[in-house]
Copies of this chain bind each other. A is one copy, B any other.
Amino acid sequence: MATFDRRTFLRTATTAVVAGAVTPDLAVKSMENDLAAPAPTPPEVTKILARYIVSARYEDLPAHVRKEGLRTLLNWVGVAVGGSRHETVNIAVEALAPFSGPPQASILGRRERFDAMNAAFINGVSSHIFDYDDTHPKTIIHPAGPVVSAILALAEHRPTDGRNFLNALVLGVETECRIGNAVYPDHYDRGWHITGTAGVFGAAASAGKLLGLSEQQMIWALGLAASQPVGFRESFGSMNKSFNPGRAASNGLFAAFLASKNFTSSDQMIEAKRGWATTISTKHDYKEIIDGLGKHYESTLNTYKAFACGIVMHPAIDAAIQLRDQYSVNAGRVQSVHLRVNPLVLELTGKKTPTTGLEGKFSIYHAVAVAIVEGAAGERQFSDRAVHDPTIVQLRSRVVPVIDTNIQLSQVEMTMVLEDGRQLVKSIQHAKGTLEAPMTDGDIESKFTDLAKESLSPAQIRTLVDLCWNLEKLPSASAIAKAAVPL
């Protein structure tokens, strides 16, 4: 623990008082507090992180890190295109069109073009609409929303090749997930929507990397990003939830553009006493941010949802689809489906007769039934159409969940009884889409196709998927954004 530096404190207090930003009484009280319990001097977190971001090269990325970056990209493009026709996006486009600058960047899945910052916002909103995007399980951050929304829009404005783009993507995800690790779970438990509060750092870092910021400029970009945290958990259930990753993306770009012209900030915004981490969270473990940079990659711990609903139903859906496929089950021949589940499954998703697609996401009965009938549980399986489909409605009444406190939330034990008396059994320890049972590349492609097919033709989808996988060979990463626009 460093000794208390009275000079440093006085300099800070003086600046504040002279600026009129704090009353002298408050400064004195604050000084007394500090003298009574001097804080340890934290490491230079902002500086160390900035130095890493500006110096890290594409060539330094291990192959498995590059590969996970491509999977993150492909999954994000899919959910962004998939969400782009939603009412939330229509509203954002209508509201912001009068203020947009030059048509620098595409809105994925649509024909409008906006300036880079507004495009980043809208694409970030689209990508979170279905809560079907990627998840870093250690923090529940959805990493791609803030980062890829920012840099794909930027890449259309300032050309960049695919390798630099992938490097920036990885560095952005590293930045936000590491900062998230430093404050999770306290920060999230308090009420912050961590995708918006940590995400803005990822957006600024990745955009700043593509803008070629110096170390000092990157420090400022992180400082200006820190100054713009976005979102509370109270927003969940409204359009404001999708707003948060979108605004994190545009705020990060805003920070990076200003820093690139030498708009200054503090050099210690993350770790200072009145900076981001101590103000916004009771926990702040800076080792999570600065240890093992360039050696250990949080971005390889990203996951992609296999099913378009809360993860609590994923084990049952996974079991249902596996039995269906393995035994070529005909839904009409299913007499009953028994499943032993953790008690929370019924508490959270116990709705027996959903009447809307959204309600279907809260019904374990519907989820299992639709998975058996359609062999999938994507966004279209949680539509109004699906919850009113007679075959599915009939089958869901035969789904019999039983709670069992010995069953973990990641598990399910399913017994499917067919009309001919056969009993098909499936036990799931970890559902598809978890770190333990990751989505295959093919799974992500299928999810992509399912999400994109209302906006893009099959040929366009094929082209777009190939562009994502082949990012590292692209002379301009902007080709991906352009290919995601309907013909």
Residue numbers of A with Cβ under 8 A of B are 10, 12-28, 30, 88, 91-92, 94-96, 98-102, 104, 115-117, 131, 135, 137, 140, 157, 185, 188-193, 196, 220, 223-224, 226-241, 243-244, 247, 254, 257-258, 260-266, 268-269, 272-276, 278-279, 305, 309-313, 342, 344, 347-349, 361-362, 409
A234/B25 in contact, CB under 8 A: no
In the complex, A420 Cα to B388 Cα: how many Å? Answer: 100
A230 with B228: CB separation less than 8 A: yes
Q: Taking the full assembly, how many copies of this chain does it contain? A: 2
Interface pair B135/A273, CB less than 8 Å apart: no
- A268: chain B residues at CB < 8 Å are 234
Inside 8 A of A231's CB, which chain B residues have their CB? 227
Partner of A24, one of B96, B193, B312, B361: B312
Is A236 within 8 A of B25, CB to CB? no
Contact between A265 and B235, CB atoms less than 8 A apart: yes
CA distance A190 to B272 in the complex (A): 12
In the bound complex, residues from chain B placing their C-beta under 8 Å from that of A193 are: 21
Chain B residues lying within 8 Å of A239, measured Cβ to Cβ, are 263-265
Choose among A27, A91, A227, A260 the residue with the greatest number of B CB atoms under 10 Å from its CB.
A227
Question: In the complex, are the beta carbons of A264 and B238 less than 8 A apart?
Answer: yes
Whether A312 contacts B17 by the Cβ 8 Å rule is yes
With A19-B131, A102-B98, A227-B230 already in contact, the answer to whether A10 and B275 are too (CB < 8 A) is no
A15 lies within 8 A of B243 (CB): no
Q: Once the chains are docked, how many angstroms separate the CA of A106 from the CA of B192?
A: 36
For A104, what are the chain B residues with a Cβ–Cβ distance below 8 Å? 99
Q: Which residues of B contact A96 (CB under 8 A)?
A: 257-258
CA–CA, A272 and B24, complex, Å: 33
